[in-house]
Amino acid sequence: MSMYKAYVEELTDDIVLETERGFLSYQIQSDHIYMKDIYIAPEFRKTHEASRMVDQIVVIARGLGIKKLLGSIKPSNKTATMSMKAHLAYGFVLDSCVNDFILLRKDV
């Protein structure tokens, strides 16, 4: 376990899925899983690593009987456009948008 994973899981209700290529932090709620942060090292972007990690979250959701994933984008982030493209390519749709926060949803 990395120090980042240990830190996040000690201080928050987030769970961190890690690989040698990146991480995805998420929260399990009663009716959805909220994918909070995803980071893929630059040299592994465009290799479908993010999709493989989200696929693992889908398996977790189905195992828990959860039928909805949520993800978010902060438009002011440097990588917002790339993140939006990745979410849409995976099948997420717009759920809502407020100020500098876009919420996306995917039924699983």
Q: What is the CATH number of the domain that holds 82?
A: 3.40.630.30
Rounded to 5 degrees, φ, ψ at 24 are: -140, 125
Q: What is the mean pLDDT of residues 5-14?
A: 95
Q: Whole domain around residue 22: which residue ranges?
A: 3-107
Name residues whose C-beta falls within 8 Å of residue 42's C-beta, 6 or more positions apart in sequence. Answer: none
Torsion of CA 82, 87, 90, 94, to 10 degrees: -140
Q: What is the mean pLDDT of residues 19-28?
A: 96
Is pLDDT at 51 greater than 90 in this prediction?
yes
* Mean pLDDT, all residues of the chain: 96
Is pLDDT at 30 greater than 90 in this prediction?
yes
Is pLDDT at 1 greater than 90 in this prediction?
no
Number of domains in the chain: 1
Residue with tokens 């978010």: 72
